[in-house]
Amino acid sequence: MADDMERPRGRAAAGLTRRAALKAGAAMAAALAAAGCGREASRGAPSGPDDLARLDATALARHIREGHLTAREAVEAAAARIARLEDRLGAFAALDVEAALDRLDGADPAAPLYGVPFAMKDLNEYPGLPFRRGSALFRDAIGQTMTAYTARLDAAGLVTLGKSQTPEFGLLPTTEPLAYRPTANPWALGHSAGGSSGGAAALVAARILPVAQASDGGGSIRIPAACCGVFGLKPSRGRFPDQGTGGRAFDLAVKHAVSLSVRDSAFLLALTEREDGPHAPVGFVAPAALAPLKIAVSLKDGAGRRPDPAVAAAVEEAARLLESMGHEIVPVETTPYEFPGGADAFNAVWAHGAAQIRQLAAQLAGAPPERTGVLEPFTLGLAAAFDALGETGLAEAVGLLDRFAAQTVRWLEDYDAWLTPVLGAPPVRLGEVAGDVPFDALVERLGRYAAYTPIHNVAGTPAMSVPFAWTEDGLPVGVQLSARPGADALLLRLAYALEEARPWADKIPPLAA
């Protein structure tokens, strides 16, 4: 169990993937120009390293395409940023710039994102790169297989420099694997970058990379995006290859990215989405005027708790801004968060995953992981929780999650979007929700801190974290907007509007390129 513990499926139709990427890229370039998103290209070449680091992936690819710099220069500039900042950031689980440059020599210069430096989250296999999954259990593992989803990222022209850090098996909302270095928050190095895509979000926030691959099985795109002040969309369930397409709430995990700009997220969504999924492909979503929407807004979690005042203030301010744009804001007190037993059922599914990991660890090591020490205390605690539950309890939990999902989708039919916190508090300090905190205390902390995001994994609904506010101490606070299954385009257009009204790309953390 983890955010995207993918099953290898071989090199699926690489030629077809490349042709589809080129066709999609040409169509999107035209849409970007028509939407007025091409203004960076008219400014000529970036004037220096600082200017280059501020570019999003779309602009960087355009500069490469127009000859203002080469793809190799773009990758080498990213490598220089890594050399300068990574010792303090701890965002990479593995790095191999030379191998990336070798792959670049064989890449297609016509690919839509050709030459853009990129990182793959270390819950995804990538041939030739370590595949540790944040765990000592796989300290020596090397990726062997290219999945259909990863092949689409390669076909887009992205240059994978390495693997971004993740907590053990993606199980926690912080990136502090006990076997490796923790990832620091670029806004305050003593604070968490979130998880489980914390390494990815830290790399984008620090302007080392413009975009990085991420995944979300309970908030793991949205939480680090909120912690690091970057944009993070969790798409609808079934949008991508290598993922379940059914309506079962058991299929929690979704792949996508964290990015500096909304358009990069929209671009990557169009380049990687499947054509035969449960929802019609969205294609490239450009900025566009929105008719007035009916947007629910709520603050309480499933236990009736309000978030930290700084988080509540950000949500309330976002609601006022959306109302000033002409949308109808509807404060609601009764929400799907209150579904009886929903949180316990979600935890049961995660505990089942941890029990499977424990069994695998025993098989690989020839001894129980409680003796070998290859698994973290929290992973073992979750596995023990499943022992008390059993397969019958798991079946009951999955059935409950299906009802929870159906109720959430029905509730959303009354609204176009739903505005809530992403987290119950601003980014916590490193160590507060790490895997060696005593199990019962950690579960209680997680229930307060990360209560707002899992519902959308259960329901399969799209949801996003939008950078919106900063605390007095300079820590980012994101707000979450969600919508009915398949309404990814609506959320992206809302994000564009918020990005224009409250730009975040010019807010630079203290540790940044």
User: What ranges in 134-252 are assigned the alpha helix state H?
Assistant: 148-155, 198-205, 222-228
Closest CA to 133 of 160, 190, 99, 93: 93
Measure the CA dihedral 252/258/123/489, to 10°: 40
Question: Which 8-state DSSP code applies to residue 7?
Answer: P
- In a 10 Å sphere around its CB, with 0-12 CB exposed, 13-18 middle and 19+ buried, how is residue 392 labelled? exposed
Phi, psi of 252 (to 5 degrees): -90, -35
DSSP string, 233-288: EEPPTT-STTS--S--TT---EEEEEESSHHHHHHHHHHH--SSSSS---------
Backbone Cα Rg of the chain: 21
Catalytic residues: 121, 196, 220
Question: Which 8-state DSSP code applies to residue 43?
Answer: G
Structure token pair of residue 296 = 């629910």
DSSP H or E stretch at residue 424 = none
Neighbours of 500 (CB within 10 A): 10
State how far the Cα of 283 lies from the Cα of 268, in Å rounded to an integer.
10
State how far the Cα of 64 lies from the Cα of 82, in Å rounded to an integer.
20
Closest CA to 35 of 502, 492, 507: 492
- In a 10 Å sphere around its CB, with 0-12 CB exposed, 13-18 middle and 19+ buried, how is residue 495 labelled? buried
Identify the three-state secondary structure at position 212: strand
